Structure 1
Amino acid sequence: MYGCWEHVLPLQLGSRGTITEAAGFNPDADIHKLREAMKGVGTNEAVITEVLTRRTIAQRQRIKEVYKQTIGKNLLDDLKSELSGNFEKVVVGLLMTAPVYDAYELRNAIKGAGTEEACLIDILASRTNAEIKTINEVYRKGASLSFAGMFRYHKLPRNYRLFTNAGRDESDSVNEALAMQDAKEIYEAGEARWGTDEVKFLTVLCVRNRKHLLRVFDDYKKVSGRDIEDSIKREMSGSLEEVFLAIVKCIRNKTEFFAERLYKSMKGLGTTDSILIRIMVSRAEIDMQDIKAAFLKLYGKTLHSFIKGDTSGDYRKILLELCGGEK
């Protein structure tokens, strides 16, 4: 299932993650540990957790390559045959490159009769042009799996298609006159009319650069007397409201967006494990340190304590490793 994706290179990652490059990295030693953990009756999940959560994406890819060369089998397939449940889902994610994991999650979100819109929001509202383009390339490489085109066309809900163009201006320029014009046009497309012109909202929010949009949000409050988030809540509902709010939140502060998503995945009765796993896996090597700080600032409790109180067993242990400690 994953063969055609193996050679997609990982994206350039930042340095605010909880996972950093392991010193003295020895893939052969790691392979020996993993083989021992899977040998015989039962599986040593603690060893699997120790190896995979203390290696970077690039180092994990090297482990997979050497495993295939020396053992002649696919590491991911061997692990999947030994594992189950949410622990398995975390391990599967950790063994993929960043764009492959995004594509894998998107594919699962839109296959079948329904759509997991939370996944579309988490990924499409927060990724850069380069990341979106790489995800598109993953889909093209997956043509033999009969899902090429689903991301860009008929299976993707209409409200998300503009994201796939990767057409956001990523400069730092702010056109003050255009910002006021955008603010007025958004107001006229929503608060000032009966019904909402979704296309106008999307065109502005998915194309303009971050600094320009922050100015648009300020101007919007001058024009309408409300924060744009309040207007979105008044004018929209359901998944449409969610996606527009997600865009605005990612523009204002991406780490707070992810902190809020994590909080909502765990608060109250039950846990939305799909969101919890996706964010913990995909952000561990990018900005998890910042997300943890934002979580503490917003909710007065550590992310570590929330995960510890809301999960259990080996699933809890692997997530806490990705979280990177109490503080």
Structure 2
Amino acid sequence: MASRGTVKASGNFNANADAEVLHKAMKGLGTDEEAILKLVIARSNAQRQEIKAAYKTLFGKDLIKDLQGELTGKFETLIVALMTAPITYDVETLHKAIKGAGTNEKPLVEILASRKPQQVKDIVAAYKKDYDHNLEDDVCHDTSGHFQRLLVILLQASRQTGLQQELIDSDAQALFKAGEQKFGTDEQTFITILGNRSAEHLRKVFDAYMKLSGYDIEESINRETSGHLKHLLLAVVKCARSVPMYFAETLYHSMKGAGTDDNTLIRVMVTRSEVDMLDIRAEFRRLFACSLHSMIKGDTGGHYRNALLLLCGGDDA
């Protein structure tokens, strides 16, 4: 399957030469941010890992530490994220989200709702290796109730595959009975069905649900649930419908209104740049009255903006 990313591997790649360029950009007085961002974004993540290794061999220093010493603010956060291997980045993001005072639910919801089962398994294994902790235990320690139950189901990464033709109508009916038809809501039914069925199966269930109830499943979730559980159920539904559409909406909301949610903006631009950024851009254009490119341009500034625009990879005005 061809990548739908905007960032591709560089053809005539030489890790040592790239390490030299980065070293030179940080040596002496002042830092050449533009040289750093152009080089980093013109390489795939796998190539960046080779550059990191070459840098250590050539200069006996840790490239990430040097970048952190030379760069500041959101631009630093973005470049360091790009230099981190994808699974490591997800693991660090989740660890940060659940450690410390209070939990940051956004990255938890976003990562666990959107990653493929194999990626979730890799994340769980890497988390154990890096922190000598069980991710599920840490999540349970920091969350509660139905929200916690659905996160635990997603962490099992054992979604069914394919369609269960005979279950489509009964799943739709079960969801209808658990929500719209009931006084109060039976959240467990929503959690079990949305957490365990395949995306392909769920799309059929959503169609059957619409015929049966006259509502989009999203409308019902909005009405029947609240708080973190609502956000997680909606994320699961949206990712079942279309992962690029989910991320287009996530990016839009990170920049809409007063103040930008830069953490979300950086996270999505970095993690999707080699996966499906072209599809996210197309969905963004379809859903909102502007292009992703123009919204980034109007909402950010400096080297940070230039780097984000390069990751966006073009304008769909």
Q: TM-score range by the shorter chain?
A: over 0.9
2:239 to 243, 250, 254: 250
Match of residue 109 from structure 2: 121
Identity of aligned residues (%): 46
| Contact persistence 2:273–2:312 (CA under 8 A) | yes
Please state which structure has a larger fraction of its residues in helix: 2
Quick check: 2:171–2:205 contact (8 Å CA) kept in 1?
A: yes
2:52 aligned with 1:96:
no
Normalising by structure 1, we get a TM-score of 0.91
Amino acid at match of 1:125: A
Q: Cα deviation per residue 1:242-287 (whole Å; 9 max; x = unaligned)?
A: 1111111111111111001101111111101111000000000010
* Aligned CA distance change for structure 1 residues 32 and 147 (closer, same or farther; 3 Å): farther
1:122 Cα deviation from its structure 2 partner: 1.4
Find the aligned partners of 2:134 and 2:182 in 1 and give their Cα distance.
39
1:269 match: secondary structure: coil
Q: CA-to-partner distance for each residue in 1:79-105, whole Å, 9 max, x for gaps?
A: 111112111111111111111111111
**Hey, what's the Cα distance between the residues in 2 that align with 1:239 and 1:20?**
36
RMSD: 1.6
Q: Is the counterpart of residue 310 in structure 1 residue 299 in structure 2?
A: yes
Asked if structure 1 preserves the Cα contact closer than 8 Å seen for 2:78 and 2:270, the reply is yes
Decide whether the 8 Å contact of 2:136 with 2:152 is kept in 1. no
Match of 2:42 among 36, 54, 58: 54
Give the conservation status (yes or no) of the 8 Å contact 1:102–1:135.
yes
Are the structure 2 counterparts of residues 184 and 156 from structure 1 closer, same or farther at C-alpha, using a change threshold of 3 Å? same
Deviations 1:42-87 (A, max 9, x none): 2111011011101001100100111112211111111111112111
Corresponding position of 1:76: 64
Q: Which amino acid aligns with 2:49?
A: Q
* 1:167 equivalent in alignment to 2:158: yes
Matches within 5 A, 1:1-327: 15-144=3-132, 150-157=137-144, 158=148, 159-170=150-161, 172=162, 174-327=163-316
CA distance in 1, matches of 2:166, 2:153: 24
Deviations 1:190-246 (A, max 9, x none): 222232222221111111112211111112123322111111111012222111111
Distance 1:163 1:151, change over 3 A: farther
Using the alignment, how far apart are the partners of 1:297 and 1:223 within structure 2?
A: 28
Query: Residue type matched to 1:289 in 2?
Result: L
Shift of 1:309: 0.4
The residue matched to 1:318 in structure 2 has which SS? helix
Please state how far the C-alpha of 1:325 moved relative to its aligned partner.
2.0
* Paired residues of 1:14 and 1:287 also in contact (CA < 8 A): no
How far does the alpha carbon of each residue in 1:152-205 deviate from its partner, in whole angstroms, 9 at most, with x for none?
5423551422111001123x3x23331111111112222222322222211111
Instruction: Report runs of 4+ in structure 1 exceeding 6 Å deviation.
Output: none
Residue 114 of structure 1, CA deviation? 1.4
- What 5-or-longer segments of structure 2 have no aligned partner? none
Count of residues paired in the alignment: 312
Counterpart of 2:200 in structure 1: which amino acid?
K
CA-to-aligned-CA distance 1:28-52 (integer Å, 9 cap, x gap): 1111111111111221110110111
- Structure 1 residues 33, 271: closer, same or farther in 2, change over 3 A? same
After superposition, the Cα gap between the structure-2 partners of 1:264 and 1:52, relative to the gap in structure 1 and judged at 3 Å, is same
CA distance in 2, matches of 1:230, 1:183: 14
- Whole-Å separation in 1 of the counterparts to 2:112 and 2:276: 17
- Is the CA contact 1:265–1:272 (under 8 Å) kept in the aligned structure 2? yes
**Mapped contact 2:124–2:134 kept (Cα < 8 A):** no
* C-alpha deviation, 1:147, in angstroms: 7.3
In structure 1, runs of 5+ residues without a counterpart are 1-12
**Contact 1:124–1:163 (8 Å) recurs in 2:** yes
Change (3 A) 1:40 1:147: farther
- Asked if 1 retains the 8 angstrom alpha-carbon contact of 2:15 and 2:50, the reply is yes
